[in-house]
Amino acid sequence: MVDQGSGADIMYPNLFKGLKLKLEDLTAYDLLLISFEGKAVIPKGQIWLPMQSGPVVVNVDFIVVDAYSPYIAIVARTWLHALSAVSSTLHVKVKFPFGEQIEEIVGSQFAARQCITAAVIHQNEQESSASAGGSS
C-alpha cells in the first residue's frame, strides 16, 4: 500500500517472515506508532532494505511491527520522494521519471478491495470480541 500522508514505511509480519529476517537484523526504534484502528503499536525495530521499484532500487528504512494488517507493507512519502514519484490511490498507480521515460507501477484494484474488506471484517471481529467481554 502507498500512503501519501505517512512519513513511516511499515513492514508487517508476513513480509518480515517471508524475507526470512530475524529480530537480530533489526536496529532499535523507540517511538510508538498508532494503527489504523487507533491503537498504540510498539515497533519491533527498524531495518534498511533495498526495494526494487521498476528499474530503480531505492533504499527504504522500514519500521517493523507485529500487528494485524491485510497489507504486507506500507510505503510512504520517503519512498515517493526518493523516486520523484506521483501516486494515485484512485487508479492504484505510481508514476516516476527514469531517464527520458516515465515508468509506471500498476497495482490491482481487486487486491486493494480485498485488503479493505479484510480490514473491515477484522475490525468488526475485534469490536464483537470486545463487546462480548473478550480481549484483543
Residue type, 110: F
Pick the CATH number of 9-131 from 2.40.160, 2.60.40, 2.40.70, 3.30.1690: 2.40.70
Quote the CA–CA distance of 95 and 57 in Å, as a whole number: 15
For the chain, the domains span 9-131
Number of other residues whose CB lies within 10 A of the CB of residue 63: 20
pLDDT for res 129: 72
Rounded Cα distance between 16 and 48, Å, is: 12
* pLDDT tens sequence across 57-104: 999 999 999 987 778 888 888 888 899 999 887 788 899 999 999 999
The answer to whether residues 129 and 81 touch, using CB atoms and an 8 Å cutoff, is no
2 has which bridge partners?
75
